[in-house]
Amino acid sequence: MPPLSGYVLAPLSIPEQVALAVIRYFPADQWGNALNVARLESGWNPEAHNTAGEDSRGIFQVNIAPGANPRYADRDLFDVETNVAVASEIYRGWQNWGAWYNSAVALGLPT
């Protein structure tokens, strides 16, 4: 096999970054669900920010308002990898998709 020198790899698209992070952090049986929840929450926009009565940020719209997930307020939730990792922690804590209730209901997922 020839060496790779001289080859330039294109940067990954946002959906590719999301997919790789989901594979890294979520259980395999939830990969498709995680991708669909993220798509409904933010349209896979890492800069999505909802301040209408909450403070939801990034791909999974992690809400850091008091009463939600303020423990993640010091994390860069606009970073794809960080947001997906935090979302996975939240998912594992709930053991279902209840933290993303509206998206879960729309997708027919357990809450």
Span 57-96, pLDDT tens digits: 999 999 999 999 999 999 999 999 999 999 999 999 999 9
pLDDT at 3 over 70: no
- Could you tell me if 7 and 33 are in contact, meaning their C-beta atoms sit under 8 angstroms apart? no
pLDDT at 1 over 60: no
**How far is the C-alpha of 56 from the C-alpha of 28, rounded, in Å?**
25
pLDDT for 8: 72
pLDDT at 21 over 60: yes
| pTM for the predicted model, two decimal places | 0.90
pLDDT for 10: 80
For 74, the 3-state DSSP assignment is coil
CB atoms within 10 A of CB 59: 33
Angle subtended at Cα 21 by Cα 110 and Cα 99, rounded to the nearest 5 degrees: 30
For 110, the 3-state DSSP assignment is coil
